[in-house]
Homo-oligomer: A and B are copies of this chain.
Amino acid sequence: MIFASDNWMGASDRVAAALVEAAAGHAPAYGNDPLTASVEAAFTRVFEREVAVFFVATGTAANALSLAQFAKPGGVVFCHRDAHIAVDECGAPEFFGGGSRLHRIDGPGGKLLPADLAAAIAAYPAEAIHHGQPAAVSISQLTEAGTAYAPAEIAALAAVAHAAGLPLHMDGARFGNAVAGLGVTPAEASWRSGVDVLSFGGSKNGCFAAEAVIFFDPARARGFEFHRKRAGQLFSKSRFVSAQFSAYLEGDHWLAMATHANAMARRLAASIAAVAGAVVALRPDGNEVFAAISKAADARLREAGAVYYEWPPAGLIAAPLDNEMIFVRLVTSFRTQPDEVDRFVQTLSAIDA
C-alpha cells in the first residue's frame, strides 16, 4: 500500500534490462552514440514531427533549463499558484533564469484559465520597464491537482501566450499519465495544442532517472546545449539515459505503464468515493487521488502499513475540512497492484469506532 509518490517506485524490468545491456559495451561519450541517435529518432516518431531532444538529470533541471532558454533581464514566468516550479524546485527556475520571477496565478482544479493568464500578463506592459517583462508561460500536465489539461484548454492558453509573444512550456513530469488519461496522442497533448517546449518525464513512470527537454521547433533550441552543459546536466555516459528511454518508448511501454497506474488511481478514487465519510476531491485524470478521510481511518491505514502524504487541501476542495478529517494525496504507479488498492479501501472503510 505504497501511495506516497510514484518516485518511490523502482524501475520497470524492461528499462532495467536495457540499462544492463548498454552497460556491457562501449560507446562515444556525451550523447554522440548510436543508441542516443536512435532514441532521438524514437522521440520524433512519438511526437510525429522532428524535435530537438536533450536529456537532463531531473525534472527540476528540465523545467528550469527549458525556461532559461527564454530568460530575459527582469523576466517573468507565469504559472499556476501551485505549480511544481513555484513550490518544489527551491528556486531553480529563478536561478537558471538569472533572477526570473514566477508570477503565480490561482485557478480551479490546478489549471490556469486563459482570462486570468491574460490579465496577469497585462500587468507587465511593454513600456513599463520597472515591472519587468514577460518571458514565458508554464503549465503542468498532469497538474498539481492530478488533473489533465484537454488539448482545447492548452490551445486556449497557448493562444494567450503566443499573442503576447511568449513561449508555452509544459512541465510533463507525469506527461505519460496525462496522455494516457486524456486518450489523445502525445502530439495532441503538446505541440498540436501550442506547446513550445516540454519537460518529458520518465523517472516517475518506470525509469531510474530519465528526463528530457523537448523543443518542438528545433530552431528554438539553438544554444540550449550550452545551457545544459553549463548546468552540469550533460551526462558523460549519456547513453545510459538513452537506454532507459529506448525501452520506455519502445512498443509504447511508457503508455502501458501510465495506463495501468491511471486505472489503479481510478479504481482507488471510485472505491474511496463509495466509502461513507470519505470525500474524493477531484476526478483523477491520471495517477493521483486527493481525498479527505477521517483521522480514525488514517490511523488504521498507517497501522496497516499504508504510506501516503497528508496534503494541503487549499484549492483542491471547496468546503473546509472538519476537525475529524485530514486531507491526503495518494499516488499510484506502474507497479501498483489491484489488491493494494483493495486492501487500502477495505481498511479505510472499516467502520470508525
Which A residues are within 8 Å of any B CB, using their own CB?
2, 4-5, 7-13, 15-16, 19-20, 22-30, 56-65, 68, 72-76, 87-92, 94-102, 129-133, 203-204, 208-209, 223, 225-227, 229-237, 240, 335
Contacts and interface: CB of A to CB of B under 8 A. Distances in A.
Lowest 7 CB-CB distances: which A-B pairs, in order?
A: A61-B232, A95-B99, A57-B57, A74-B90, A94-B99, A7-B236, A11-B23
Nearest to A225: B129
5 contacts: A89-B229, A90-B226, A94-B94, A203-B235, A231-B232
A336 to B, nearest CB: 10
A227 B73 contact: yes
B101 A98 contact: no
A335 to B, nearest CB: 8
A305 to B, nearest CB: 12
B29 A5 contact: yes
Contact of A130 (B27, B72, B88): B88
Contacts of A98: 95, 98-99
Contact of A58 (B2, B59, B232, B240): B232
Contact of A203 (B68, B76, B96, B236): B236
Given A203-B236, A208-B237, A237-B203, A230 B91 contact: yes
Contacts of A26: 2, 8-10, 335
A22 B208 CA distance: 10
Nearest to A64: B232
A245 to B, nearest CB: 14
A91 B73 contact: yes
* Protomer copies: 4
Contact of A7 (B88, B100, B237): B237
Nearest to A71: B98
A90 B59 contact: no
A129 B24 contact: no
Q: Which of A28, A74, A223 is most buried by chain B, counting CB atoms within 10 A of its CB?
A: A74
Nearest to A201: B236
Nearest to A229: B90
A271 to B, nearest CB: 22
A99 B91 contact: yes
A215 to B, nearest CB: 15
B230 A74 contact: yes
B232 A132 contact: no
Given A8-B29, A74-B90, A60 B19 contact: no
Contacts of A20: 16, 19-20
Given A8-B27, A23-B208, A235 B58 contact: yes
Nearest to A204: B236
A7 to B, nearest CB: 4
Given A90-B132, A91-B73, A240-B208, A60 B232 contact: yes
